């Protein structure tokens, strides 16, 4: 399956419950992400968006006193374990985004630096840009 956008939540026994035979899986469940909603086909985006609030009629989430940490994320796989649907977040995508943010932040800081602006006024071009070594 390709990457897909999903609405996920950290598993919480107070919200999503657990059975008596799942007591030894509680530590495993607490580290995983529970799939609430997914958009696997981008061409269906308009139909899904039009009915989105009605698609999430889950009283056990909205009528609970515990904090709900629902968020959208890009996922690369989903799997079924103990009759629940779990997802694997696409960490490489988020690492790429983090690197791009760092790159463009330092690039903009380089071009806004008064010393480099003065260099451009004198020579007609900016000095060579390179990322600082970490």
CA distance 103 to 3: 24
Does residue 65 lie in a domain region?
yes
* Helix (H) / strand (E) containing 111: helix 91-112
Does residue 67 lie in a domain region?
yes
Q: Is the pTM of this model over 0.75?
A: no
**Helix H segments across 4-126?**
13-16, 26-30, 45-50, 52-55, 59-62, 91-112, 114-123
Does residue 43 lie in a domain region?
yes
CA distance 5 to 102: 24
What is the domain range of residue 8? 4-89
pLDDT at 71: 82
* Top-confidence range, 16-20, 30-34, 111-115: 111-115
Does residue 110 lie in a domain region?
no
Does residue 34 lie in a domain region?
yes
Share of the chain above pLDDT 70, in %: 77
Share of the chain above pLDDT 90, in %: 30
Please count the structural domains in the chain.
Answer: 1
pLDDT at 131: 78
pLDDT digit string, tens, across residues 74-128: 999 888 988 888 999 999 999 999 999 999 999 999 999 999 999 999 999 888 8
């Amino acid at each position: 399956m390709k990457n897909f956008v999903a609405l996920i939540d950290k598993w919480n026994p107070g919200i999503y419950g657990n059975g008596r035979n799942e007591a030894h899986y509680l530590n495993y469940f607490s580290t995983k992400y529970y799939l609430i909603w997914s958009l696997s086909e981008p061409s269906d985006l308009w139909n899904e968006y039009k009915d989105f609030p009605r698609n999430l009629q889950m009283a056990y989430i909205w009528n609970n006193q515990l904090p709900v940490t629902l968020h959208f994320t890009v996922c690369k796989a989903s799997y079924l374990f103990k009759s629940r649907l779990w997802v694997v977040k696409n960490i490489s995508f988020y690492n790429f985004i983090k690197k791009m943010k760092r790159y463009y932040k330092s690039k903009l800081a380089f071009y806004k630096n008064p010393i480099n602006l003065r260099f451009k006024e004198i020579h007609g071009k900016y000095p060579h840009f390179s990322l600082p070594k970490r």
